[in-house]
């Protein structure tokens, strides 16, 4: 329930130290003036003027709201193939619950990379339910037999005379068909496009090493996105698929677990991003079997889970811009903040926090508006007990250190 702040109301947050999303240290205790949904000023002295509310947050730390750049609101089952068997209206309600829960975990923005649509975005924007800011691509693009194809090997090409589809993706073959699908997604307001370029763990017929789509097909999607001033994200695990992706103009590499040093350098040189998603592999390893994950998923899991931390180290050494994502499915969504503890095994708190705030904002083309505490930025922020720059476990799943969550200038 929204309690403080709102459109046209000035609110003052005083006394807390501030992590602005970029700096390596916290500020001294200061004042953040919020006007409507925007940060009006950040200062060491109390700003002038009248405020509807003045909250004393002495002893706390204010950080930007967290951004999850690899989220699936419509992944409502561990076995995502089941999602397509439910009515879309029913799935929309389940997706709404996933989004509400993410916001209450402190994720004030999510980038949905398969499944989320214009209607979900519109409902979130209009405040029909409590939701993070929602960036969507629509349904991801998979080739037949690719990572987004849930059909078992014995199933025929088409059922009921309709085009096959996965739970979070459409199966599309050919450059012309992909170009049309990209145009349709962009017409519907997609903030980015998503394509599968290597095998994955959650579908049955695609080995991890499988290179997917032709160069011509990929280039058609990249071209359409670029001309609409959008970008393309690509599911890619192997070094070969990642190198190919950046060569063809992909901006955001999802997962990247099997990257090598040479390819990491190529990614950095291209100015592309890598979005690790350690939380999903750890969650599947611990709970997947008991929660009904398909046998094929569990069999392929170790191929990528054991290399995730090494991939992060290689990317850091090469200077790659590392985002922050989770890729959790079904009943595992509640482990979203596990990503902080997992990455802390190889990264410093400041680097993880930047990934989850200002770096992800840059990936979303929202630099200066999201992921920072600065004049003109959206008033999405968290109040934390303690200093997460010294102890990142304050943001872990089992922590209760997040005292307040502010979204769109309101405390939820």
Whether the CB-CB separation of 371 and 382 falls below 8 Å is answered with: no
Side-chain-facing half-sphere of 255: CA atoms under 13 Å? 31
pLDDT number for residue 335: 98
Non-local (6+) Cβ contacts of 87 within 8 A are none
What are residue 16's phi and psi, to 5 degrees? -90, 155
* Low-confidence stretches of the chain (pLDDT beneath 50): 1-2, 159-163
Among candidate residues 255, 232, 258, the one with its CA nearest the CA of residue 245: 232
pLDDT number for residue 160: 44
Among candidate residues 276, 267, 332, the one with its CA nearest the CA of residue 304: 276
Non-local (6+) Cβ contacts of 73 within 8 A are 95, 96, 98, 99, 110, 112, 115, 116, 120, 134
pLDDT number for residue 206: 86
Beta strand segments in 95-239, E: 107-112, 133-136, 140-142, 169-171, 193-196, 232-238
Which residue segments constitute the domains of the chain, with CATH numbers given? 4-65+370-411 (2.30.40.10), 66-336 (3.20.20.140)
d(CA 69, CA 192): 12
Q: Name the 3-class secondary structure at 70.
A: strand
- In the chain, % helix, strand, coil (3-state, to 5) comes to 35, 25, 40
pLDDT number for residue 296: 78
d(CA 280, CA 286): 10
Among candidate residues 267, 281, 336, 218, the one with its CA nearest the CA of residue 253: 267
pLDDT number for residue 158: 57
Among candidate residues 218, 206, 227, 203, the one with its CA nearest the CA of residue 172: 218
Please state at what angle helix 175-187 crosses helix 215-227, rounded to 10 degrees. Answer: 30
Run of H or E residues at 66? strand 66-71
**295-307 burial: b if 16+ Cβ within 10 Å, else e:** eebeebbebbbeb
Whether the CB-CB separation of 106 and 337 falls below 8 Å is answered with: yes
Whether the CB-CB separation of 300 and 208 falls below 8 Å is answered with: yes
What are the tokens at 105? 């975990």
d(CA 385, CA 313): 29
């Amino acid at each position: 329930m929204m309690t403080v702040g709102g459109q046209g109301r000035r609110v003052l947050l005083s006394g807390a130290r501030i992590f602005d999303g970029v700096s390596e240290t916290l500020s001294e205790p200061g004042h953040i003036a919020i006007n409507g949904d925007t940060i009006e000023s950040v200062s060491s002295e109390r700003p002038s003027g009248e405020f509807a509310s003045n909250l004393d947050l002495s002893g706390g730390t204010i950080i930007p709201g967290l951004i999850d750049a690899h989220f699936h609101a419509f992944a409502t089952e561990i076995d995502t193939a089941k999602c397509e068997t439910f009515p879309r209206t029913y799935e929309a309600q389940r997706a709404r619950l996933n989004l509400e829960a993410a916001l209450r975990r402190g994720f004030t923005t999510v980038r949905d990379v398969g499944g989320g649509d214009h209607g979900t975005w519109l409902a979130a924007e209009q405040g029909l339910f409590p939701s993070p800011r929602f960036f969507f691509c629509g349904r991801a693009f998979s080739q037949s037999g690719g990572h987004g194809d849930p059909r078992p090997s014995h199933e025929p090409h088409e059922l009921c005379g309709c085009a096959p589809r996965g739970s979070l993706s459409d199966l599309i073959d050919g450059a012309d068909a992909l170009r049309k699908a990209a145009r349709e997604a962009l017409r519907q307001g997609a903030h980015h496009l998503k394509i599968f370029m290597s095998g994955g763990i959650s579908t049955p017929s695609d080995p991890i090493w499988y290179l997917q789509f032709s160069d011509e097909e990929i280039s058609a999607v990249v071209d359409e996105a670029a001309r609409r001033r959008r970008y393309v994200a690509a599911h890619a695990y192997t070094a070969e698929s990642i190198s190919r992706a950046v060569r063809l103009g992909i901006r955001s590499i999802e997962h990247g677990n099997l990257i090598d040093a040479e390819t990491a350098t190529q990614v950095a040189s291209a100015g592309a991003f890598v979005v690790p998603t350690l939380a999903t592999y750890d969650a599947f390893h611990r709970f997947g079997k008991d929660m009904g994950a398909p046998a094929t998923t569990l069999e392929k899991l170790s191929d990528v889970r054991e290399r995730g931390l090494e991939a992060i180290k290689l990317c850091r050494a090469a200077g790659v811009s590392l985002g922050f994502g989770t890729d959790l499915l079904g009943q595992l969504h509640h482990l979203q903040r596990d990503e902080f503890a997992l990455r802390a095994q190889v990264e410093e708190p400041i680097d993880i926090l930047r990934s989850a705030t200002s770096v992800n904002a840059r990936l979303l083309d929202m630099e200066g508006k999201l992921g920072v505490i600065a004049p003109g930025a959206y008033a999405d922020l968290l109040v934390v007990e303690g200093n997460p720059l010294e102890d990142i476990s304050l943001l872990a799943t089992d922590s209760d250190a997040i005292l307040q969550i502010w979204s769109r200038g309101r405390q939820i």
